[in-house]
A and B are shown apart, each in its own frame.
Chain A
Amino acid sequence: MIVQLFWLYYAVPMLFGINLGSNWWIGVIAIGLNYGAYLSEVVRSSILSVSQGQYEAATALNMSSFQRMRLIIFPQAVRMMLPEFGNYTIQILKGTSLVSLIGLTDILYYGDVMRSTSLSLSPLIYLTALIFYFILALPLIFLTRKAEKIAKKGVAS
């Protein structure tokens, strides 16, 4: 991830001669490239893990393939996806800390600026930064746990 981020940061403007406007887009692209693949894999495998019997039952009730996907397969797959999405969202949140390295002004960037003015404050600064991240992650942690519970209840027949 960090390798891709730096590579994009230096390579894109050179190779393609385009300036993406701001490094913000570089961050977005690096994170998107990294997690997009994971997330589509989550979607794919959740859909595949809905059992064959569910397809057959839907067919036996004369559903069209679109109805089958919309009413039967996808709702079950989503229940399996959600906890994974929660986990990956936390990963992405963590990943965003890297963008300070390409000069974006995120939490960590301000932390660094403050540290350079007062070295003795750095324990406080970094602890605060960590707590900030944790507070941002907390709702995701709770949502993920909740999604896990729902998934356990709603899927196994």
Chain B
Amino acid sequence: MNLNYWSWDTFFDALPVVLQGLGITIGLTFASYLFALIFGFLWTFLRRVPNRFIHFIVTWTMEFIRSTPPLVQLFFIYYALPVIPYIGISLHPFACAVLGLGIHFSTYIGEIYRSGIENVDKGQWEASTALNISTWDKWRRIILPQAIPPTIPMLGNYFIIMFKEVPLASTIGVAGIMLLARSYGAENWSYLEPLTIVGIIFLVLSYPSAVLIKKLENRFNKRFDKNQIMKDKGAMQ
């Protein structure tokens, strides 16, 4: 291995430059994650519309968004959206990225919500109907409170996944750590150090989040494992 090219001077020179983008990177992660969480609901409810045509359209739209590259979707939103005749709107790169990543991952999040809802015991629906609870209250007070908590670990996983995808936004000019690293590289003609910094930042930040999510997972699994609840009851008696 040839380490002659590695320079600690460059490393420490680049570090503050790259770190300036950290706020944007993390901010973008949160913003697009939030967007995906909200948009995911929309998919889930659209899919429940009892109309086969709508169901078909929604299902395949989701499939389309999910199986095409988010990078191309970003380009579409950034480059193509403004020049579409009549409806063209030009958005700030950050907004484009939130929209693009948010929509892309909302299709996955929607799928998670769906599995959560499907896993709610059938008896719960029947009981709410038997108790004559209104549709709104049924969802708000009975179904969602049971459907969402078990999916929290999975939702948390998507936070990490999205965090790792956020550097894509550098391609449309969002000045996160990735873009700053690359422009530092271009100016100083040394990419190795700034990109290594980016890699380290991602490792450092995703590891503790992964550990945190593992913890969450254990806690929720415990809470929602019915056997465990029975066992706990048995232990109390």
Contact = CB atoms under 8 A, between A and B. Distances in A.
A contacts B directly (C-beta below 8 A): yes
Interface of A: 1-4, 6-7, 10-11, 14-17, 90, 93-98, 101, 108, 111-112, 115, 119-120, 122-123, 125-127, 129-130, 133-134, 137-138, 140-141
B2 A15 contact: yes
Contacts of B2: 14-17
Residue among B69, B76, B198, B202 with most chain A CB within 10 A: B69
A133 B67 contact: yes
A15 B171 contact: no
Nearest to B88: A123
B72 A3 contact: no
A70 to B, nearest CB: 34
B192 A122 contact: no
B185 A10 contact: yes
Interface stretch (B79-87, B118-126, B140-148, B219-227): B79-87
Given A3-B195, A3-B199, A115 B79 contact: yes
Contacts of A14: 2, 5, 192
B191 interface: yes
A122 B72 contact: no
B182 interface: yes
Nearest to A100: B71
A115 to B, nearest CB: 6
B168 interface: yes
A125 B80 contact: yes
Contact of B1 (A16, A96, A97): A16
A134 B199 contact: no
5 shortest A-B CB distances, which residue pairs?
Answer: A97-B69, A137-B67, A10-B191, A123-B80, A126-B76
Contacts of A133: 67-69, 72
Contact of B71 (A98, A138, A140): A98
B106 interface: no
B79 A6 contact: no
B64 interface: yes
A72 to B, nearest CB: 28
Contacts of B171: 101
Given A96-B69, A123-B84, A126-B72, 7 more contacts: A2-B170, A2-B178, A7-B198, A17-B2, A126-B75, A133-B68, A141-B63
Interface string B54-94: 00000000011011111111011001110110000000000
